[in-house]
Amino acid sequence: MPKKKKDESREMPAVSAPIKDQPITETIETNYMPYAMSVIVSRAIPEIDGFKPSHRKLLYTMYRMGLLSGQRTKSANVVGQTMKLNPHGDQAIYETLVRLTRGNATLLHPFIDSKGSFGKQYSSSMMYAASRYTEVKLDKFAQELFSGIDKDAVELIDNYDGTMKEPVLLPTTFPNILVTPNMGIAVGIASRTCSFNLSEVCDATVAILRNPKTDTDKIMEFMPAPDFPGGGLILWDKESMKNIYESGTGSVKVRAKYSYDSKQNCIDILEIPNSTTIEAIMTQLTKMVKENRLKDVTDFRDEIDKDGFKLTLDLRRGTDPDALMLKLYKETPLEDSFPCNYTILIDSAPRQMGIPDILREWIKFRSECLRRELTFELGKKKDKLHLLMGLAEILLDIDKAIAIIRNTQKEADVIPNLCTGFKIDALQAEYICEIKLRYLNREYLLNRLDEMEQLQKDIADIEETLRDELKLRRLMSSQLTEIKKKYGQPRRSEIISAAEAGQYVKSEDVENYPAHYFLSAGGYFKKITDKSLRGNDEQTFKENDYLLQSFDAENVSDLAFFTNQGKIYRCRGLDFDTSKASELGEYVPAKFGFDDGEKPVFCYVGSEWTDKNNMVFVFENGKGVKIPLSAYEIKGNRRKLTGAYSTASPLVGIFLEGKQPFDILMLTDNDRAAVISTSLIPVKTTRTAQGVTLVSLKKCKLKNVIKDFGEQFESTKGYKKIKIPAATTLLAEKDLNKMQLKIDF
C-alpha cells in the first residue's frame, strides 16, 4: 500500500507581513483626518445656504420631481428618488424629510407641505407614520430656494456615482442660515443654530446692503432676539444677547407661556421652550409630586389635540398661579436654555461667526449667485439678439433671400448661400431658414424688430448691473423686501426683559440657619454649622494649602467668588453641602467649571452691591485701584461676570473696604515694605481700570499684600507712608525673622 504524501502546506509556518513602525501623527493624518474632514464638510455642518448635504439633496430631488406644483406624492417615492443623490439609507432620508415638513412643526417656515402623521417636535412619544402612508410636496415657500438654479446660479457637480448632477449650494434668495434652525455634531466640532423671524432678518440684511458698516447694536434693533417655532417667552438680556450676536456662541433662556383659567382653577401651558418636550416636563412634575415638592398641584395631564399644544395643571384652592409658575420655571424644563453655536462652513472651512458676519457672508454668496444668473441671462439675450440681427439683414431684401433659397439646387447649400448673400453667420442663417412661411408677414417682422430693441435695452441694463455693485445690492434689497411682503409672519416668541421677569426664591422652601464659611488658598470651600464646629475648630487642609478667608453668614446668604482671572461667580450658601472641620470641603473650581489655572482669591458675602463699599485691588506691578461694589451688581439670574478687574498685571491683594479705610502692608520680592492707607487709593468706576502706582518698584515686584499684619511686626513706624507713589523700606532683621508669609495669589 503506497504511503500517503504529507501535506507540506500544513507544516509550513504562516508568514505574516512585517509590522512597520509608524508615528501616531502620520497614522492620524493618513487614516483619521480624511474621515474627520468628510464628516465636517460633507455631513454634519450646515453651509451658508442654511442646509446640510442631506437637506439639500432631498429638496433638490423634490424640485426635479416637479413637486413645486401639482399633487402630493407618497413620501416613499421621494425617499427612493433621493437615494440617487444620498446613499445613506432610506430611514435617514425619511427622518430628514419629516423635520422639514409642516406637520412636524420644527420650522418657522416649513419647506414641505405634508399630509399624514409626521409627529411633533414638542413630543418624543408622538411618532411619525411610515413613508408609505404619508404624502408630501414642496411648499410654495420652497421656490425661494431654487431661484435661478436653472440659470447657472450655482455650480452643479456629479453625484456619488457620476450619473446625475446636484448643486453644491442652493441659491436661497434670503438668509436661510438664520431662518431655519439646524444642529450637527461632527468630529471635534459641532454646530447649533436657532431660528430668527424672516421679516426681521430681511430688514437687517437690507440695512447691511444699504450700509455695510452697520454695527451689532443697529442689527439688534431690527432683529432683537431669535424667534422659535414653538413660541414661548424669551428672557432678553442685552449683554448676553449681544455676546451671541458678536461671537456666535451663547445661550438664550426661554420660558413656557401659560394662561390661568379662574373658573376651572387650572393653568394651561400653551407654549414650551423649543429645546424640551412635554414628556420631559411631565417626568419632572411626577418626580416633584413623589418628593412632596408640588403640594399646590392636584393633577396634571397632556391635552394636546388638533388645535395644538396644551398641558393642564389643576390647582388647589387658594394657590397663587403666578408664584407656582415661578417655582416650576426654576424646577422643571418649563424654563430652558437654548445653546447657540453658529459654526458654519464657508468655502468648505468651518468658521464660528456672529450674526453680522453671517449676514455679510450670505450677501457675498448671494451676490455671486446673482452675477452668475445675470451672466447666464445676458448670454441668452445676446444669442437671441444675434439671431434677430441676422433676421434684420434679411428684412432689407426679403425677396433676395427667397430667391437664393429657391435657386439653390441642394439643401445643404442653402445655409452657405444665405451667409454669402447677406454676410451673416451659419447660426443666423439656420434661424432664418427655420421660420415658417406663414410668418413672413409685416406684423411678425415688426414684432421681431420691437423684440430686438427690447433685447438691446435688457442687455444694457444687465451689463450695467454687473458693473455697478450698488445696483446689484439694490436688486437684492428689492428681492428681500418682496419676500418679507409675501412670507413675513408676526413673531411667535414674545420678548420680555430678564431683569423684570420674576424669579423664584428658593429660600422659602429651605431651612435657614447660621453657618461658618472657610475658603482655602487652594480653592476648597467649607460650610460648617455651629453644632459641627463646636469643640472642633481646627480646620483640615491639603498639604501646602492654608486658610485664605473665613466669615460667618447664613445658609441662604448670597456669595460671590472673585477669581485670579478677573471673573466673578455668584451662588448662595445653600448651594454647598454642610461639611466638617476634618473634611477638605468642596472644590470651587470644579463646582463652577473654572478655566485651567483659575482659582478663587476672595469671597464676598451679601446682596447689597452699593457704592458705599469698595473692592480694593493691588497688582504685582505696584498699581492699585478701588472699584465701588455697585459696579458688580448683576441684574437677573446670571451666575458669571467677566471683566471684574484688570488682568494686565497679576493680582496680589484683594480686600473689601467699608466706611472706614484701613492700612495695608505691601511686600516686594527683595524684602522691602511699605504701609499705606486705603484712603490714598483712588476710586474708579470702570471695573477694568488699572489704577495708579502705589509703590515705586525698581527691579522688583510686589509679592504680597496683607491687611491684618499687626501680629507680624513689632512696629510699622518705619514702613508707614502718607502719600503715593510710596518708596519702600528695607525690612528690619527682627521683622524678617518674625514674619511668616503664607498668602500667595
What CA–CA distance (Å, rounded) separates 545 from 587?
Answer: 13
Examine residue 416 and say whether the peptide bond preceding it is cis (omega within 30 degrees of 0).
no
Q: Whole-angstrom Cα distance, residue 286 to residue 292?
A: 10
d(CA 201, CA 179): 8
Counting beta carbons within 10 angstroms of the beta carbon of residue 251, is it exposed (0 to 12), middle (13 to 18) or buried (19 or more)? middle
Cis before 725? omega within 30: yes
Beta bridge partners of 166: 157
Rounded to whole angstroms, the Cα distance separating 204 from 30 reads 44
Kind of pairing between the strands at 494-497 and 233-236: parallel
| Residue 350, φ and ψ in degrees, nearest 5 | -70, 135
Angle among Cα 721, 724, 725 to the nearest 5 degrees reads: 110
H or E segment to which residue 487 belongs: helix 469-487
Respond yes or no: is residue 133 known to be catalytic. Answer: yes
**Any residues with CB less than 8 A from the CB of 577 and at least 6 apart, and which?**
527, 586
Q: What is the CA radius of gyration of the chain?
A: 37
Burial label, 407 (beta-carbon count in 10 A; 0-12, 13-18, 19+)? exposed
DSSP code, position 265: T
Distance CA 456, CA 468 (A): 18
Place of cell 482655602: 520
Cell of 218: 443697529
- How many residues belong to the chain? 745
- According to DSSP, the residues that pair with 625 across neighbouring strands are 617
The one catalytic residue among 35, 133, 439, 444: 133
Are 280 and 333 spatial neighbours (Cβ–Cβ below 8 Å)? yes
DSSP string, 107-151: -SS-SEEEES-B--TT-SS-PBPPTTT-EEEE-GGGGGGSTTGGG
Q: Are 49 and 153 spatial neighbours (Cβ–Cβ below 8 Å)?
A: no
The candidate with the shortest Cα–Cα distance to 542, out of 523, 528, 518, 565, is 523
Amino acid letter, residue 668:
T
Q: Are 138 and 60 in contact (CB under 8 A)?
A: no
Active site residues: 133
